[in-house]
Amino acid sequence: MSYVGQSVRRLEDPPLLTGDAMFVADLAFPDMAAMRVVRSPVPHGRLIGFDTAEAENAPGVIAVLTASDLDLPPIEIRMTKVGGLDPYRQPVLAKDRVRYVGEPVAVVIAEDPYLAEDAAELVWPEIEDLEPQLDPMVPGEFEDGLSSEVALVEKGYGDVDDGLAASPHVLEVELRVGRHTGVPMETRGAIGVWDPVEGVLHMFGAAKVPHYNRFAIATMLGLEQDKVHLFENHVGGGFGVRGELYPEDVLVCASAMRLGRPVRWIEDRREHFIATNHSRDQVHRVKVGFDHTGFIHVVDDEFWQDQGGYVRTHGATVADLTGAMLPGPYLFPAYRSRGHIVLTNKTPAGTYRSPGRYEGSFIRERILDLVAAEMAMDPVETRRINLIPPDNIPFDRQYSALATEVTYDSGDYGRLLDRVVERLGYAELRADLQSRRANGELVGLGVVCFVEKSGLGPFDEVRVEVGGEGSVEVITGAASVGQGVETAIAQICADGIGVDIDSIRVTHGQTDRIDRGMGAFATRVTVMTGSATSIAAAQVREQALQQAASLLEANPADLRIERGRISVEGSPGGPSLTLGEVAAAAAAAGANLTATAEFNTDHMTYPYGVQAAVVEIDPVTGGCRVTEYLVGYDVGRSVNPMLIEGQLVGGVAQGVGGALFEAFRYDESGQPLATSFMDYLVPTASETPQVDVLLSEDFPSPLNPIGVKGAGEGGINAVGAAIAAAVGDALGRQDAITELPITPGSIWAILSG
């Protein structure tokens, strides 16, 4: 029996379904105080001082703290090798200037959250207004001598200028992807608990990267790393925006140490909209050179990324991945990308599920549709002409992303496109939609291709331990943010040792249980943690066979482990031992069945896919409804098809939000216009289509021992691109669809024009 490849039900679900899950807001400690953050009410200003007297004398208030009370360094950057970003890091509390509405300027600690909130309204920061900068395409000054353009990220190969000059056809277009973000069901939260006797700080509510955040918090607070431990609880959604190191995480820890009592902070939804990382928000100006066959010879892309008030922990990751992944599965013999990262007086931006790829796919696939329209070609055929041939894979893109060389490891993009076309009944569907348009309906189809990236290194470490009763614990520094970590890792371990999955417990996100870990981001866990688990499980299996061989007086090569029982191959009625008995015998001899294994890599894997959308547009309101959606995705090897399908479907739902509904907008003075769900629209079940998934395992990755590629971000990657193509098809105006989200107002303007 093999668990890998089976749709095993999620091991994580019982506590979530029965109400036994413990989120950070469910935790309480004796003598716990509550923290409320005082935030800047203006987008840009000089911070002159505070009036805190009334708040300090309010009922239940324990302390009011400002930057002068907490001498803390700015928050370090976790990712990217792009230099020169240090001056733009965010302080834990604003000191001399405020740079966005919602920036923390002070905290109030009180006996309960209600008293803290009441008192926070009595803190009056004195701020001299400064002119806000809101347009990333017009850089200004961050402060004296520092431009608000913090970095220029460049990628490319080939002779772009000569290629454009020699191209028979050249088109130029400006394209935009709006500002939106993950908006998980659970807002952020953290609890700091200080043990003055042991000198140990505990923080509860960690997610995504507990080990890195432990290191960063210890460094900022002047503690040894082994004196800080972070604990991951159940997490109500991650999507890239949860679990980075934010000012509030440091503040609860610093406050707990200062006051000598536990301090808890739970973010409300308004805070979440103005303080948690936003994302996307790019403007691209693209030149494309192509010939009469529709083959694209050159792409020249310059873009501006609105980074908001500061550079946060992701550094230049989004711009780096935008430029690196924009060419997708196409040859593009000459390519240039120049990405400007510019600060504005808006909420700081970071990563959100498929960062840079959602944006890049929209840009790239708009190009393909515009070329197809100009040459009066079938859009699928235009894509097929430009795909990288399978004989060229592995394919070196001749530049790096996230400090790793971009080399597509395996695949056949045309084959998957053909399978999707067949699944759609493409010719018949196109004919049907054309007939409906002839009868006055506004309906359209978009088919787009994309490449994802996954399995970011450099390492992951796993420890596998067998208990005396045959139970198996897998201890990992990975984190669970809803992606099915416990189930997938248990499946790999069960097969690796030869035990029932019910005997396995996966422990994650607890820095006191394992010294090293990379967490959960960049669709890395199945590739990296799964590979390390496979290696460690094989080592434990070998230990068990060696120990059992001495007990059974047999050759280890003649033994097998099946469902936790060790017996001689071909002797079903012969002597056997349970794994627990073998573990007990090993323990009696002063040994343990345990192994720690590390998987290392300096290359990512590159899954790929094809997405198709059918839309209907209401000619009266301009409203757009996605009626059909198909995701074809090559995952290399599937550990759990049900989990992968769930990831893809969930990603599509979020992609629909970014394509049609979600947008953080600001007025001319820099005030945010979306601070509640009354103003920020997310798709519900009514707006999310049924998603058909075509899961391919045709091309396992050669870069890891289990052949897997990640699936966490493939569902969202090309949704904006597919819906834009379908809307352009419905309107007969591919050239008119240049911005996401595509709102009823923008459609109405096209129809009215």
Contact assessment for residue 245 and residue 253, using Cβ atoms and an 8 Å cutoff = no
- Strands 200-206, 228-232: parallel, antiparallel or unpaired by DSSP? parallel
For residue 81, pLDDT beyond 80: no
User: Can you give the pLDDT at residue 648?
Assistant: 98
Angstrom CA distances, 689 to 351, 653, 685, 740, stand at 25, 8, 8, 19
Query: pLDDT averaged over the chain?
Result: 96
Terminal-residue alpha carbon distance, the chain: 63
Indicate whether 333 belongs to any domain.
no
Q: Which of 552, 584, 600 is the last residue of a domain?
A: 600
User: Can you give the pLDDT at residue 1?
Assistant: 63
Work out the average pLDDT over 334-359.
98
Q: Which of 556, 573, 600 is the last residue of a domain?
A: 600
**Calpha distance 454→527 (Å, rounded):** 8
Same domain for 59 and 193?
A: yes
Same domain for 224 and 83?
A: yes
Phi-psi region at 553: left, alpha or beta (left = phi > 0; alpha = psi -120 to 50): left
Same domain for 635 and 744?
A: yes
User: Can you give the pLDDT at residue 468?
Assistant: 85
Task: Report the CATH number that the domain containing residue 657 is assigned in CATH.
Answer: 3.30.365.10
Same domain for 251 and 378?
A: no
DSSP codes, 217-245: HHHHHT--GGGEEEEE---S--TTTSSS-
Instruction: Give me the percent of the chain exceeding a pLDDT of 90.
Output: 97
Work out the average pLDDT over 557-580.
92
Task: Report the CATH number that the domain containing residue 254 is assigned in CATH.
Answer: 3.90.1170.50
Same domain for 422 and 476?
A: no
Indicate whether 443 belongs to any domain.
yes
Same domain for 195 and 104?
A: yes
User: Can you give the pLDDT at residue 79?
Assistant: 87
Q: Which of 559, 580, 600 is the last residue of a domain?
A: 600
Indicate whether 474 belongs to any domain.
yes
Of 385, 414, 379, nearest to 291 by C-alpha is: 385
Indicate whether 317 belongs to any domain.
no
Q: Which amino acid is at 204?
A: F
Q: Can you give the residue range of the structural domain that contains 490?
A: 456-600
Three-state secondary structure along 532-578?
HHHHHHHHHHHHHHHHHHHHHCCCHHHEEEECCEEEECCCCCCCEEE
For residue 303, pLDDT beyond 90: yes
Same domain for 632 and 696?
A: yes
Same domain for 594 and 657?
A: no
**Calpha distance 331→333 (Å, rounded):** 6
Same domain for 417 and 471?
A: no
Indicate whether 145 belongs to any domain.
no
Work out the average pLDDT over 730-734.
98
Domain count, the chain: 3
Of 82, 38, 41, nearest to 247 by C-alpha is: 38
Burial class (CB in 10 A: 0-12, 13-18, 19+), 407: middle
Q: Give the position of tokens 């947008």.
A: 663
Same domain for 535 and 446?
A: no
Same domain for 582 and 626?
A: no
Give the model confidence (pLDDT) of 201-238 as tens digits.
999 999 999 999 999 999 999 999 999 999 999 999 99
pTM confidence score: 0.97
Work out the average pLDDT over 101-118.
98
Residue 497, SS3 per DSSP: helix
User: Can you give the pLDDT at residue 571?
Assistant: 83
Residue 613, SS3 per DSSP: strand
Indicate whether 281 belongs to any domain.
no
Q: Which amino acid is at 350?
A: G
Same domain for 73 and 222?
A: yes
Instruction: Give me the percent of the chain exceeding a pLDDT of 70.
Output: 100
Work out the average pLDDT over 621-648.
97
Indicate whether 178 belongs to any domain.
no
Give the model confidence (pLDDT) of 140-159 as tens digits.
999 989 999 999 999 999 99
User: Can you give the pLDDT at residue 558?
Assistant: 93
Indicate whether 154 belongs to any domain.
no
User: Can you give the pLDDT at residue 570?
Assistant: 83
Going by C-beta distance under 8 Å and a sequence separation of 6 or more, which residues neighbour residue 210?
Answer: 230, 231, 232, 243, 477, 479, 509, 510, 511, 517, 519
